[in-house]
Structure 1
Amino acid sequence: MTAFRLALSELRRMTGGTLPKLAILALSLVPLLYGAVYLYANWDPYGNLDGVKAALVVDDDGADTADGRLDVGATVRENLLEDGTFDWQLVDSAAAAERGVKDGTYEFALTIPGDFSANLASASDPATARKANLHVTTNDANNYLLSSIVDKLTSSVHDTVAAEVGEETASQLLTGFSTVHGQLERAADGAGQLADGAASADSGAAELVTGLGTLSSGAQTLVSGQEQLATGANQLSAGAGELSAGADQLSSGAAELSSGLGQLSSATAQLPQQAQQLADGARQVAAGTTGLESAVTASSDAARQGVTDAVTRLVQQGVLTQEQAAALQQELAGTTAGSGGLEQLKALSDGAAAVSAGADQLAGSAPQLTSGISAANDGASRLSTGAADLSTGAAELSSGAGGLAGGAQQALDGTRQLAAGADDAAAGAGSLQDGVGQLRDGSAELARQLTAGAGEIPNPNDEERANASAVIADPLTVRTVDQAEAGSYGAGLAPYFLTLAMWVGIFMLAQAMRPISRRALASNAPGWKIALGGWLPFLAVSLVQATLLYAVVRFGLGLDPVHPVRAWGLLLMASMAFSALIQGIVALLGSVGKFVVLVLLVLQLVSAGGTFPWQTIPAPLHLAHDVLPMGYTVTGLRQLLYGGDLTQVATVAVGLLGYTAVGLLLSLLAARRHRLWTLKTLQPEISI
């Protein structure tokens, strides 16, 4: 008996009646019911979210900005209603929306608060910047996974709004950069002008130092001059006092002179007339002495009488005084007797002639003398007046000279202070020159740095600003390169559920089909034929299960594998491996083996990595992923369905062949073990 005959015998037994045939058909559809229906139900859940009712509350009051009115809440509402991802229901208040979520009217609620736009607009002012909030109300009692979906929605709304507002804020920021750039350029120009001015100031400071040095030297010279002035003013004051005293004396003397000249003028008023009389008398004396000389010669007596008469007439005329006349007569009396007397008379006659001539001259000059004395008298009077004025002026001069001396002293003190100040100013000018030099160098450096800084600050044009604003608002662009793309949620779960459905479907075969034929065990057939004959019916039905499942998913649900034939082939290999393992375990362990298969199913459910990556499971379960076949099958199907690395498929195929060999080995052990029948074989403790 061959293994195929044993397999056909088991299949004929299973299809010997109508019900067995229906049972085989039902078992063939188990993977289809488990895998295809589940995938159908979850093929595109995100595409059917428009049936989920969600409350939308928009309380945003908007905000006024420098660029106009900002009403982000209304924009979000329009975008959500236009997108239509959910069945949005506009609700008047947040409280009503929350009540609706609680009683199940709405699956969740999205509330845009009144300060939403205002907070978004505040980002342009760092001092008052506030975050805008979106309020989401969910209820896991309605649906747990919906919270995750809503999180993605709100994240999308957040990113969109943040990018939009961030772009506007960045545009304002870049506009500010342009403003700062321009202001820095103007500041650089101003700093350059400052540097030029500082250079001029430096030159002026040098001139100031020189000028203040000259001023200091001049101030010292001025001090010396002021000292001389003060000394001279003191001397002037003393001299003015002396002048005033002398002027007083001069005034007194001039007054006395004027008085004396007045008297002299009065006394000499008759001088011309008297001088004329003297001349006349002198001529008469001369004439008389001449006659006297003649008479003396004739008669001395007559002569003496003539002299006496002549002298008398001269006294009467006022030419001689009485004393002069007496002296003259006495002298004449002594000389009349001899020649000596004659000689005296001759001398007297000559003297009288001379007196007459002098008297004539005096008479001629007397008017001029009188006029001169009168003029001198007038001059003396004026001198007296001028001397009085001089005395008054000298007194004033003395007073003024005293004031001048005091002022000169004050001027000297001030000049000394000026000199000290000039010295200080000269020293300060030196410091000023140093400071202005530093200012010149610093302002030049400031101009250079401002120019360099202005060059470092962006000055974008409108196009550059728009591009930079978009980059700043959303600096990260995620360019996803899908090396292997599933295409839909259902397609992403397909490898896992196809594999799981095949394990469950074959496990159900073990409930209706005998893993090993007792008839074959009672025969003389070798163990490998018995093991192979027990496995082939499982293989045949599992291949039908796999083909039906793949066909429905492929053509009914629209799964579009990159490698469709290879994917079908790998699923058939998985059926071969699973059927060998399950048949071998159940054949070896009997009813306990079915429990073992169920335990293996549970272990593979959590370790195959069908939904989350298998690396996220607890470490103790990593061994289950590494040892059990479902994880390998899921990996292989993903590569074939989505267009991944085919080298991994080869490894998976080798692994499935290995699992098939392990299953056949277990079946061989079961065939050898069950050839020996015991009481437990005839009456098992547990029969499932």
Structure 2
Amino acid sequence: MKNALKVYKRDVKKVVTNWVALVIITGLMILPSLYAWFNIEASWDPYSNTNGIAVAVVNKDNGANFKDIRVDAGKDIVKQLESNDKIGWKFVDEKEAKAGVETGKYYASVLIPEDFSEKLLTIVKDKQEKPSLIYSVNEKVNAIAPKITSKGVTTVQSEVSKTFVKMVNGKVLEIVNKLGIELDESKPKLKELISMILYVDDRMPEINKGIDALEKGTVTLEEFLGNVKKDIPLLQDTILKAKGIVNTSVVFLNKAKDGLQKTAPYIKEDLILARDLTSSAESLTREGIDVISQSAPKAKEFFVRAREKYVNAVDNINSIMDLLNYLDRDNSNGTLNRIKENLASIKNNLNGKIDTLNNVIASIDKGQQPSMDLLNKLGDRSQSASSSLEGIIGRYDSEIVPAINDTINQLTSVADSTITILNNANSSLPQLTGLLDKGADGTKKANELIKVLKEKLPPIQKSIHEVAGKLRKLDADSQLNEIISLMKNDAISESNFISNPIDIKENKIFPIPNYGSGMSPFFTTLSLWVGALLLVSLLSTHVGEMEGVKLSTSDIYFGRYLTFVTIAICQALIVSIGDIFLLKTYVAHKLAFVLMSVFISIVFSMIVYSLVSIFGNVGKAIGVVLLVLQISASGGTFPIQVTPTFFQMLNPFLPFTYAIGGMRETVGGIIKNVLVKDVATLNVYFIIPLILSVQLKGKLQNMNEKLVSKLKECGLVGH
């Protein structure tokens, strides 16, 4: 290395003493940093400025009516977009939108058709038609803009779906809410009825006791008649009042029955919506399975959308099951029990699909190919939940609606039978009163009267006791208050919850505040390779003879490399320090970032210098080819998993892969074993060119000189 150091010292002296050379060398040190800085600054935070991307919105929706509900979905969409500043929404007419998209004034347009709201309401009809948003895009204007505008339109679609679910569930819960309030208001009357009937029932044993005493002669007939006749008006008054209260309760229960029956169509609407969501999710899943072998990211898009639809379908099924449980609290209706069991099975099926989709998406995120078992699970048509829901919908009008009506009818049957019992008791009282009056005529008919009394009174006692028993059961039913409480819940807040039951809380593991900082590892690495190419383009690897010193091939190689690597280190220091302090890029570990830049520059200079030192101009061409390949296959811009198979196979063999990986560790946050792996691999890329150069440079030198000499004969290559 002694002679190599002499070559290096001579190079330094020549540069320092020659101002032209000094200017050129200084320019070589600075030029690569300009390449990195301009690119980082240009891409600093593009996704926060998407409001400059103009998208035309045309609302032609005429709105629609369903019973007492007015739906104007187009107007609602426009109102949502007016408050959305993520994209530059422009509200224009159809002619202006079409011309603007064609000329590039607008990147895309969204047209809401005249029948949008009308088709949205076909969910309550026998044949459903899905409404459409017509999305037109001019893809020649820019490659990235269509992806951004498409995401905006997808967000609008999701908001419309969420709002529709919220509206349907809101109407169901509004009906239940009103019934709960009415039931709560009538509760004091029910309590009064219960108290009166129970009092009469408690008095009956005392009357029976009096009759027994009379029969045994322990009291006189006159005393007994006085006591009994005193209680008869109370009995009659109580029964009449009880009849009035029960009649009032029947009116209320009939009103409640009518209200509950109105919920049946809404249950069917939720079933249809769940079926459509499930069917759409199954179609999206199959599309994802079809394309996963060609493009995992594209398949992931399908799987994510399918998962969202499955989640919405599960929410719908939950709301249906809750309502059915309200109607059939004691699980006494066999048909409703079977429907609830079917819905529970479908819900478990959908939750299984969601879990499987989560596993598939997680595999794709890790850059792995999902297993065939998972994909087969997703594509299993025998487990189709949409067909199961279709079966329930098909039986809805013929089986489920009658079952719901039967359950509601049971609520009024108790009141109806109570009225019958009270009528029977009331009709028997005049007979009893007449008998008692006759008893006052004398004692000669006393025994006959007592027998008749004992015969007539038990049916009355039985009637009153039956009513009391039923009312005691009602009074002891603690679930009544629970049902009233549930039914009185705020319909609006419940509807909001069902339409949007999940909030996503983002947890950034290694937060990087802007896109430019996230791209700095790639552009900094790229500039260092460009710097190495500039060096071999402007500086020669050939070393002239030194007076009094005989230079070997190794002396020449190492001596000139020391000059190259010195400039390369300066390039790395300028670009890395400039990233931090000039551009203010975010770097978690600043010193490590600078040191990693210097290390990468040393490795790159060794690779490129060795190529040119061994192969001459051909080596320069190889360096350019490697640059092109590494830009595409290093995963510096797009994830390597979204690139074609050729580039994915090439990725592990390129120095850029590990250089960018190491730089990302210093920018986002260091995981020690990852950084050690990247540094160790880059060391291999340093050592291999070094060994090959020492072994091959001398052997290939004569051949290279002949090739260069022959090339110069054509007169196109300089001397």
TM-score range, shorter chain: 0.5 to 0.7
CA deviation profile, 1:105-156 (whole Å, cap 9, x unmatched): 3222222233334444555x26465433222221122222211110011112
Residue 464 of structure 1 and its aligned partner are, at CA, apart by 7.0
**What TM-score, normalized to structure 1?**
0.56
Alignment of 1:49-64 (within 5 A): 49-64=50-65
Residue 484 of structure 1 and its aligned partner are, at CA, apart by 2.2
In 2, the alpha carbon distance for the partners of 1:584 and 1:576 equals: 12
CA contact under 8 A between 1:184 and 1:454: conserved in structure 2? no
Alignment of 1:632-651 (within 5 A): 632-643=658-669, 645-651=671-677
- Compared CA separation, residues 682 and 10, structure 1 to 2 (3 A): farther
Pick aligned residue for 2:585 from 525, 541, 559: 559
Residue 237 of structure 1 corresponds to: none
- Compared CA separation, residues 111 and 188, structure 1 to 2 (3 A): closer
**What TM-score, normalized to structure 2?**
0.54
Alignment of 1:350-365 (within 5 A): none
Residue 505 of structure 1 and its aligned partner are, at CA, apart by 1.8
Residue 471 of structure 1 and its aligned partner are, at CA, apart by 4.5
CA contact under 8 A between 1:521 and 1:530: conserved in structure 2? no
Question: Is 2:629 aligned against 1:621?
Answer: no
In 2, the alpha carbon distance for the partners of 1:652 and 1:509 equals: 25
- Compared CA separation, residues 8 and 628, structure 1 to 2 (3 A): farther
In 2, the alpha carbon distance for the partners of 1:103 and 1:23 equals: 47
In 2, the alpha carbon distance for the partners of 1:195 and 1:78 equals: 51
In 2, the alpha carbon distance for the partners of 1:678 and 1:195 equals: 108
- Compared CA separation, residues 475 and 525, structure 1 to 2 (3 A): farther
- Compared CA separation, residues 175 and 585, structure 1 to 2 (3 A): same
- Compared CA separation, residues 78 and 514, structure 1 to 2 (3 A): same
Residue 586 of structure 1 corresponds to: 612
- Compared CA separation, residues 526 and 151, structure 1 to 2 (3 A): same
Alignment of 1:371-450 (within 5 A): none
SS at match of 2:595: helix
CA contact under 8 A between 1:516 and 1:533: conserved in structure 2? no
CA deviation profile, 1:436-467 (whole Å, cap 9, x unmatched): xxxxxxxxxxxxxxx9x999999945657555
In 1, the alpha carbon distance for the partners of 2:594 and 2:643 equals: 29
In 2, the alpha carbon distance for the partners of 1:99 and 1:137 equals: 11
Question: Is 2:539 aligned against 1:539?
Answer: no
- Compared CA separation, residues 188 and 108, structure 1 to 2 (3 A): closer
In 1, the alpha carbon distance for the partners of 2:657 and 2:498 equals: 44
Pick aligned residue for 1:605 from 605, 615, 631: 631
Q: Residue 590 of structure 1 aligns to which amino acid in structure 2?
A: G
CA contact under 8 A between 1:636 and 1:652: conserved in structure 2? yes
SS at match of 2:111: strand
- Compared CA separation, residues 593 and 67, structure 1 to 2 (3 A): farther
Residue 77 of structure 2 corresponds to: 76
Alignment of 1:334-349 (within 5 A): none
Residue 311 of structure 2 corresponds to: none
Q: Residue 20 of structure 2 aligns to which amino acid in structure 1?
A: L
CA contact under 8 A between 1:521 and 1:675: conserved in structure 2? no
CA contact under 8 A between 2:176 and 2:487: conserved in structure 1? no
Q: Higher Cα Rg: structure 1 or 2?
A: 1
In 2, the alpha carbon distance for the partners of 1:536 and 1:456 equals: 86
Q: Residue 576 of structure 1 aligns to which amino acid in structure 2?
A: I
SS at match of 2:711: coil
In 2, the alpha carbon distance for the partners of 1:85 and 1:617 equals: 28
Q: Residue 489 of structure 1 aligns to which amino acid in structure 2?
A: Y
In 1, the alpha carbon distance for the partners of 2:501 and 2:582 equals: 43
In 2, the alpha carbon distance for the partners of 1:126 and 1:556 equals: 65
Residue 414 of structure 1 corresponds to: none
- Compared CA separation, residues 457 and 161, structure 1 to 2 (3 A): farther
SS at match of 1:649: helix
Q: Residue 523 of structure 2 aligns to which amino acid in structure 1?
A: F
In 2, the alpha carbon distance for the partners of 1:9 and 1:516 equals: 14
Residue 142 of structure 1 corresponds to: 141
Residue 630 of structure 1 and its aligned partner are, at CA, apart by 0.2
Residue 133 of structure 1 corresponds to: 132
Residue 565 of structure 1 and its aligned partner are, at CA, apart by 1.7
CA contact under 8 A between 1:496 and 1:610: conserved in structure 2? yes
Residue 557 of structure 1 and its aligned partner are, at CA, apart by 3.1
- Compared CA separation, residues 55 and 619, structure 1 to 2 (3 A): closer
Q: Residue 130 of structure 2 aligns to which amino acid in structure 1?
A: K
CA contact under 8 A between 2:615 and 2:704: conserved in structure 1? no
Alignment of 1:667-686 (within 5 A): 667-669=693-695, 671-673=697-699, 680=706, 683=709, 685=711
In 2, the alpha carbon distance for the partners of 1:133 and 1:606 equals: 38
SS at match of 1:633: helix
Residue 480 of structure 1 and its aligned partner are, at CA, apart by 3.4
| Greater alpha carbon shift after TM alignment, 13-22 vs 633-642 | 13-22
- Compared CA separation, residues 46 and 518, structure 1 to 2 (3 A): same
CA contact under 8 A between 1:562 and 1:643: conserved in structure 2? yes
Q: Residue 108 of structure 1 aligns to which amino acid in structure 2?
A: A
In 2, the alpha carbon distance for the partners of 1:86 and 1:613 equals: 25
Residue 167 of structure 1 corresponds to: 166
Residue 47 of structure 1 corresponds to: 48
SS at match of 1:561: coil
- Compared CA separation, residues 65 and 683, structure 1 to 2 (3 A): same
Residue 574 of structure 1 and its aligned partner are, at CA, apart by 0.9
- Compared CA separation, residues 113 and 623, structure 1 to 2 (3 A): closer
Provide the alpha-carbon RMSD of the alignment.
4.0
CA contact under 8 A between 2:525 and 2:660: conserved in structure 1? yes
In 1, the alpha carbon distance for the partners of 2:656 and 2:617 equals: 22
| Greater alpha carbon shift after TM alignment, 500-509 vs 155-164 | 155-164
- Compared CA separation, residues 656 and 78, structure 1 to 2 (3 A): same
Give the count of matched residue pairs: 440
Residue 105 of structure 1 corresponds to: 105
Residue 509 of structure 1 and its aligned partner are, at CA, apart by 1.1
Alignment of 1:170-249 (within 5 A): 170-175=169-174, 179=260, 187-188=406-407, 190-191=409-410
Residue 424 of structure 1 corresponds to: none
In 2, the alpha carbon distance for the partners of 1:67 and 1:505 equals: 73
Pick aligned residue for 2:520 from 494, 497, 501: 494
SS at match of 2:105: coil
SS at match of 1:111: strand
CA contact under 8 A between 2:64 and 2:118: conserved in structure 1? yes
In 2, the alpha carbon distance for the partners of 1:489 and 1:51 equals: 17
SS at match of 2:540: coil
CA contact under 8 A between 2:616 and 2:704: conserved in structure 1? no
SS at match of 2:545: helix
CA deviation profile, 1:603-636 (whole Å, cap 9, x unmatched): 2122101122223334443443212210111122
In 2, the alpha carbon distance for the partners of 1:29 and 1:623 equals: 34
- Compared CA separation, residues 134 and 677, structure 1 to 2 (3 A): closer
CA deviation profile, 1:219-249 (whole Å, cap 9, x unmatched): xxxxxxxxxxxxxxxxxxxxxxxxxxxxxxx
Residue 476 of structure 1 and its aligned partner are, at CA, apart by 5.0
Residue 65 of structure 1 and its aligned partner are, at CA, apart by 5.5
In 1, the alpha carbon distance for the partners of 2:704 and 2:697 equals: 14
CA contact under 8 A between 2:173 and 2:495: conserved in structure 1? yes
CA deviation profile, 1:184-211 (whole Å, cap 9, x unmatched): 579547448869999xx9xxxxxxxxxx
- Compared CA separation, residues 462 and 147, structure 1 to 2 (3 A): farther
- Compared CA separation, residues 548 and 668, structure 1 to 2 (3 A): same
In 2, the alpha carbon distance for the partners of 1:70 and 1:192 equals: 35
- Compared CA separation, residues 176 and 526, structure 1 to 2 (3 A): farther
The answer for unaligned runs of 5 or more in structure 2 is 178-259, 264-322, 330-404, 421-476
CA contact under 8 A between 2:53 and 2:145: conserved in structure 1? no
SS at match of 2:529: helix
| Greater alpha carbon shift after TM alignment, 80-89 vs 629-638 | 80-89
CA deviation profile, 1:153-179 (whole Å, cap 9, x unmatched): 111222223223322223234456774
SS at match of 2:567: helix
Question: Is 2:621 aligned against 1:595?
Answer: yes
In 1, the alpha carbon distance for the partners of 2:528 and 2:554 equals: 25
CA deviation profile, 1:417-438 (whole Å, cap 9, x unmatched): xxxxxxxxxxxxxxxxxxxxxx
SS at match of 1:519: coil
CA deviation profile, 1:648-670 (whole Å, cap 9, x unmatched): 01111112222222232234235
In 2, the alpha carbon distance for the partners of 1:458 and 1:604 equals: 69
CA deviation profile, 1:252-307 (whole Å, cap 9, x unmatched): xxxxxxxxxxxxxxxxxxxxxxxxxxxxxxxxxxxxxxxxxxxxxxxxxxxxxxxx
- Compared CA separation, residues 72 and 462, structure 1 to 2 (3 A): farther
